Structure 1
Amino acid sequence: MSSGTVAQHNYTKPLTVLTSLFFMWGLITSLNDILIPHLKAVFTLSYVQAALIQFSFFTAYFVMSFPSGYLVEKVGYKRGIIIGLLVAALGCLLFYPAAGTRSYPFFLGALFILASGITLLQVAANPYVTILGKPETASSRLNLTQAFNSLGTAVGPLLGSLLILGVAVKSSTEIAALSPTDQLAYAASEAASVQHPYLILAGLLGLLAVAIGLFKLPKIQETHQAEAVDALPAKHSVWAYKHLVLGAIGIFVYVGAEVSIGSFMISLMAQPQIAGLAADVAGKYLALYWTGAMVGRFIGGVLMRKIAPGKMLAFNALVNVALITTAIVVGGHVAMWSLLLIGFFNSIMFPTIFSLALHGLGKYTSEGSGVLCMAIVGGALVPVIHAFFADRIGLLPSFIIPLLCYVYIAFYGAKGHRADLEAAPTKGLQKAA
């Protein structure tokens, strides 16, 4: 299959089907923000213990991404997506016994399995979207599909608040004061608040796997990818591509910065010298951070059909550097709104870094996707570094950690993604740059 053949096909229908995957894993990932306060109260956890929820989830990306890349290389994108959906469904099903036995380690194990399925979906679906169409519009396509991932991220907490947090969690003292019958009834209702939503998710994931199995997705062989994306000259290993390795660092710091900012924004807005907001009110403002990412991806997906993805990535990163600098220097309500606005400029970063890093890998595309997804572990590690500095220099000044992350992203957009291009300045590659 030549690059011209790829460009001539109409891939609207398969892209529409794949968009549903991006929505589902966005929704599932954002439910972690609901599980943290719920399980913290149920098991009387410390903040460090509660943080194991995000740590277990994001660690799965590090552990399972590279094996997922090899699996996709062996079975193909479509089968990889189906297997990923089924593994994620299994993880959701395991929430039922975890809630029934009230076992926190069981929950963490179920989360790891669920995240392993999501990891396989990411490894298979992200590069598949970049291949379905013209190479120079790969970043635009991935941004538009990722916009629906952001929609899922926005919907997840709303559903979780209604279904999971609707049951008031009682303290151990309050539970002890109940009669044995009431204790059993309370335990059943508390467990059901988690069991029912995740059973529904398991069913939806299973149905989606069946639907994709029946749907005729275009089959693109790895051997044809070199032509399809104007591959760089073949190298001995996926790790030999500098722009991929630099892109993996970009994914690490981006996910770390995004999760870190989202994790500490409510605490920051609650400080009297910033906005003095109650936690529930601050939570509603935080929704603007994630909604901004969704809106920005729709706009960015359109703009990048005219603007080079690397230039737009560098611009957005530099704007975020300016916004964090303003927040740290000025403080108060200006700091709050400056940091919330970062969500809008975050929007195009993940899919753009992803597509630029995969560009030209040819037969190594699926392995490269595994490397990039492995780097999502930044979401587990960067917030810890941020918290370390917050305890020592103050919460607002500690936002210098995500600021440094955006400095690196600006470098990658301006120069880093071109690390291998000078050796092969093909027409297709120059357009993508």
Structure 2
Amino acid sequence: MSKNKYLFPFILICSLFFMWAFLHNINSILIPHLKKVCQLSDTQSSLIDFAVYLGYFVIAIPAGLFCHRFGYKKAILCGLFLYAVGALIFLPAADNRSFGLFLLALFIAASGATFLETVANPYATILGKPDTSEQRLNFAQSFNGLGAFVAPLIGTHFILSGIEHSKAELDAMAARGELTAYLQTEANSLKMPYVVIAAVLTLIAIIFIFTKLPEPKDEHTTKFSLGIFRISHVRWAVIAEFFYVGSQVGVLSFFIRFSRYTANIPEKEAGDILAYGAMLGFMAGRFLGTFFMRYIKPARLLSLYATINIVLVIIAITTHGRTSVYAITATPFFMSIMFPTIFALGIKDLGEETKLASSFLVMSIIGGAFTPLMMGLISDNTGGNIQIAYIMPMICFAFILYFGLKGHKVKGITKPQAALA
């Protein structure tokens, strides 16, 4: 069978990794921006992440069942449609400066991204030889890293204004009747980026419509069942993915707040550090991780990276100034391989149960809703001390370390993967 048969489908699948990464990582810009536009507390602003990852939690299982019934291609098209609709809802949300409408838009967009992620992760692993599935998924996830880099870069330069007023200045503007106009100007900066996002998603959908995708042959019907958790490495992978996504979202979502708090860095400069430092490192880490796995077993590399990140977060919590900011900036490089590696190890040797396990792994992304929420609560209850709130990602990395050391081990599962048509 020709390897070229899978080349163009694999390229298209890689584009999906970029798109949902954009959705996730633009939140690091939306959180400080909507905090300003809608006058939110840290806890309230964490609901931006909560809306996105709640969408994953609610839609993951339906997306997996939809994919099983109707196939990969229709699931992808459904995901692209929902994502585009969510992006377009940003227009009325900005016009009305409605935080509730922004949250609805993010929930719908995330629902679409859930379809894409539920399909693309397992699809990338089966488009080739089973013994190189981790490397193939890490390569595809490198485009996720590209999206993670581009999102804060675009957000910093096309959404953030760089204007940061103190509470006293905002009160003075309100007294002069200028506050509403200022806040509306800030809200309007969201419109054009999300129109462009909707247009790009529509174009990708059109390409998929006219592309023939190979479909796996499932010889058995896999029904929804919690029985999948009888498999040890699936169970631990779901737990590890929950904590990984929580750590990633927690670290990045409050990065701009953290930079201002610990080193008094303005939002535009912090946004550039996030893009050119943290997320460029994340992207580079994906590509380098794929290379390193030729020589280091994926689970071992995962354990090493988790240990390094625990040390980096301890430095970030216990120091001040740019040292703490740079410690946090370094963590995404070592987070880069975590999601795809945990995912690939979690669905290893599952055969026809791969789709169901994939749904639960995507569902575990709900961890991205709870870690930022806990960080917001810690910050608001310690007088706005966002630095101490970073203890939450450190705890998350400890769970990932356990998975890399012991939890990933496959016990008694020898079923072959589904063959491609």
- The TM tier, using the shorter chain, reads 0.7 to 0.9
Structure 2 residue 314 is the aligned partner of structure 1 residue 320: no
| C-alpha spacing 1:306/1:15, structure 2 compared with 1 (3 Å) | farther
Where does residue 95 of structure 1 map in the other structure? 90
CA distance in 2, matches of 1:199, 1:411: 43
Per the alignment, do residues 36 and 335 of structure 1 end up closer, same or farther by CA in structure 2, a change over 3 Å counting?
closer
Aligned partner of 1:200 in structure 2 is: 196
- Which is higher, the Rg of structure 1 or of structure 2? 1
1:166 Cα deviation after fit: 4.5
Contact 2:88 2:194 in 1 (8 A): yes
TM-score (norm 2): 0.86
**Pair 225,302 (structure 1): closer, same or farther in 2 beyond 3 Å:** farther
Which residue of structure 2 lines up, in the alignment, with residue 378 of structure 1? 367
SS of 1:359's equivalent?
Answer: coil
Distance 1:396 1:236, change over 3 A: closer
Distance of 2:350 and 2:326 partners within structure 1? 40
Could you say if the C-alpha distance between residues 237 and 61 of structure 1 is closer, same or farther in structure 2, counting changes exceeding 3 Å?
Answer: same
Per the TM alignment, residue 152 of structure 1 is displaced from its structure 2 partner at its CA by 1.3
For the residue of structure 2 that corresponds to 1:216, the secondary structure is coil
Q: Does 1:116 align with 2:111?
A: yes
Give the secondary-structure state (helix, strand or coil) at the position aligned to 1:66: helix
Taking the aligned partners of 2:269 and 2:189, their CA distance within structure 1 comes to 23
Measure, in 2, the Cα distance between the counterparts of 1:427 and 1:306: 25
Q: Retained in 2: the 8 A contact 1:246–1:412?
A: yes
Q: 1:386 to 1:168 in 2, by over 3 A?
A: closer
Identity %: 38
1:404 to 395, 406, 417: 395
Unpaired runs of 5+ residues, structure 2, are none
Match of 1:145? 140
Structure 1 position 309, deviation (Å):
1.2
Tell me which moved more, 395-404 or 303-312.
395-404
8 A Cα contact 2:233 2:407, kept in partner: yes
Q: Is 2:356 aligned against 1:367?
A: yes
CA contact (8 A) 1:69 1:369 kept: yes
Residue 160 and residue 266 in structure 1: after superposition, are their counterparts in 2 closer, same or farther (change >3 A)? closer
Superposed, which structure 2 residues align to 1:16-415 within 5 Å?
16-166=11-161, 174=173, 192-223=188-219, 237-271=227-261, 275-287=263-275, 288-328=277-317, 333-389=322-378, 391=381, 395-415=386-406
Asked if structure 1 preserves the Cα contact closer than 8 Å seen for 2:28 and 2:252, the reply is: no
Counterpart amino acid of residue 14 in structure 1: P
* CA distance in 2: counterparts of 1:52 and 1:398, whole angstroms: 16
Q: CA deviation at 1:270?
A: 3.5
Letter in 2 for 1:367: L
Measured after TM superposition, the shift of residue 123 of structure 1 is: 0.4
Quote the Cα distance in structure 2 between the aligned partners of 1:325 and 1:399.
Answer: 9
Distance, in Å, in 2 between the alignment partners of 1:379 and 1:84 is: 20
Seen in structure 2, the aligned counterparts of structure 1 residues 106 and 249 have a Cα distance that, compared at 3 Å, is same
Per-residue deviation, 1:337: 2.8
Which residue identity is paired with 2:214? P
CA distance in 1, matches of 2:350, 2:66: 17
Residue 303 of structure 1 and its aligned partner are, at CA, apart by 2.0
Q: Residue 94 and residue 392 in structure 1: after superposition, are their counterparts in 2 closer, same or farther (change >3 A)?
A: closer
Q: For structure 1, which segment, 291-300 or 332-341, has the greater mean C-alpha deviation from structure 2 after superposition? A: 332-341
Instruction: Letter of the 1:200 partner, please give it.
Output: V
CA-to-aligned-CA distance 1:223-268 (integer Å, 9 cap, x gap): 3899xxxxxxxx9832322211210111110111111122344444
Write the distance in 2 (CA, Å) between the matches of 1:177 and 1:344: 47
| RMSD (CA atoms) | 3.2
Letter in 2 for 1:259: V
My pick for the range that moved more, 408-417 or 293-302, is: 408-417
